[in-house]
Amino acid sequence: MSDGVNAAKQAAGIASCDFVTSGMRVGLGTGSTVRYTVLELGRRMAEEGLEIEGVPTSEATAALARELGIPLLEWHQVSELHVTIDGADEFDPGFNLIKGGGGALTREKIVAQASAAMVVVTDPSKQVTKLGSFPLPVEVLQFGWEVTARHLGLLCPGEVSRRGGDEPYLTDNGGYILDCHFGATIVDPAGLETDVRGIAGVVEAGLFTGMADAIVIGSSAGVELLLKPGGRLGR
Ligand code: 5RP
């Protein structure tokens, strides 16, 4: 990753912390951009008296949060989170996302679903007019994954490949990731999300529709904030 991209991710990650105030229960996303959010939340707790509790979207994020002293909640301790902050691999003008480049999409979606709002941290390279250039990650059960892949192939015009090939990548849930090469052809993200989730063996699709309320875009020029019109953080 170039220094410029890294700086952009850091700027977005830090700026997103402005959505967090003391007393909040916060969903902590996964990836190199939201890592900067988690680091900054840890810093504000240590140095500025911020008091929050978190729910992590991956074992990696849980480990980082523990290192930083961010208290983590179990699901039986929480019904709703105030906000989740997470990265994305692509976002379109309708605030639809492709996520799962880091393999954490199922837990990320569960945490986002349990949250009153979702803030996405990105850089300009993730902004597209139509989703799909980034291969859509789909988590599937190991059982019968070959047949699940064939059914996904009926929806996907390009290759459907198991991440890791013969040494398959395993998610925190023990699933496989199938990367579906749609190309920039996804005209109906919500419809495709429904169709993918309807295939037996699919655990979750890396399409997040109707979930993101704000997108924080870091770049060398500064930070841009997009608020979804009519969204849960809209003004
Ligand atoms: C992990 C994700 C990440 O949020 C997404 O891949 C973006 O990652 P990064 O911030 O490292 O570019 O969905 O499953």
Q: Is 16 in the pocket of ligand 1 (CB under 6 A)?
A: no
Q: What sign for the dihedral angle of Cα 85, 90, 93, 94?
A: negative
What CATH number should be reported for the domain holding residue 92?
3.40.50.1360
**pLDDT tens profile 141-192:** 999 999 999 999 999 999 999 999 999 999 999 999 999 999 999 999 999 9
Whether 164 and 120 share a structural domain = no
Q: Is residue 131 part of a domain?
A: no
Residue range 221-226: mean pLDDT, rounded:
96
Question: What residue numbers bound the domain in which 35 lies?
Answer: 3-124+210-220
Mutate to test the pocket of ligand 1, among 5, 57, 61, 89 (most ligand atoms within 8 A of CB): 89
**Model confidence pLDDT, tens digit, residues 168-182:** 999 999 999 999 999
Q: Are residues 29 and 142 in the same domain?
A: no
Same domain for 155 and 215?
Answer: no
Give yes or no: 108 in active site: yes
Contact present, 163 and 177 (Cβ < 8 Å): yes
Is pLDDT at 24 greater than 60 in this prediction? yes
Rounded CA separation 104/164 (Å)? 15
Is 156 among the domain residues? yes
Task: Return the pLDDT at 220.
Answer: 87
Residues 109 and 20 in one domain: yes
Asked if residue 159 and residue 90 are part of one domain, the reply reads no
Atom of ligand 1 nearest to the CA of 123: 12
Q: Is residue 36, in this structure, part of any structural domain at all?
A: yes
pLDDT of residue 235 exceeding 70, the answer is no
